[in-house]
Amino acid sequence: MQLELFADYHQILLLDEHSEADFGDLWSATATQDSMAVGDDGLAIGTEVNVNVAVTVELHTRAPGPDADQFDNVVEASVNAASGRLVVLGCTDYFPEAQRIPVEPGWVRVRVSRWNLRNAARAGHLSDDDVETMEKLRIQVWRCPNRQLAVIKRWKG
């Protein structure tokens, strides 16, 4: 699934359809450094830019192989998708119209791989004007028991 989402407040959300997570309370200094704020039933993915970003969502039957060397930043976290539907959106998008992703109800693991961060940061608020400067995110989802957040690769831009 390919999307272009408005990363208002430098974040994209991925949450259970019935989530009531308050990400304002979850954006700690550590979460900011990790580029991810995690609640039980949702997560906020930090972005370099405050404009549109390109998002790819992939569903997997098991953990995908490692490929962090191809990306600037890679973080994994667990989300309880109790409803069987994940919702991906910008934090100010209209929730009823946001993209739904069907998953088997229960805990899923989410790997977020981000790239083109240097070009996007340099272009700033104009980064979404050109595919060469747009920030890109790949969100991979698979069934997995709840585990702690794992920073696989941190971008230090």
Query: Per residue in 10-62, pLDDT tens?
Result: 999 999 999 988 888 899 999 999 999 999 999 999 999 999 999 999 999 99
Report CA-CA distances (Å) from 115 to 101, 109, 129, 132, 136. 23, 20, 17, 11, 5
Residue 117 confidence (pLDDT) above 80: yes
The predicted pLDDT at position 127 comes to 85
Residues 6+ apart with CB under 8 A from 79: 14, 15, 16, 38, 40, 41, 42, 43, 86, 107, 108, 110
> Cα separation of 92 and 8, whole Å?
7
Share of the chain above pLDDT 70, in %: 100
Domain positions in the chain: 2-153
Confidence tier at 66 by pLDDT (50, 70, 90):
very high
The architecture CATH gives domain 2-153:
Sandwich (2.60)
Which pLDDT tens digit goes with each residue over 47-60? 999 999 999 999 99
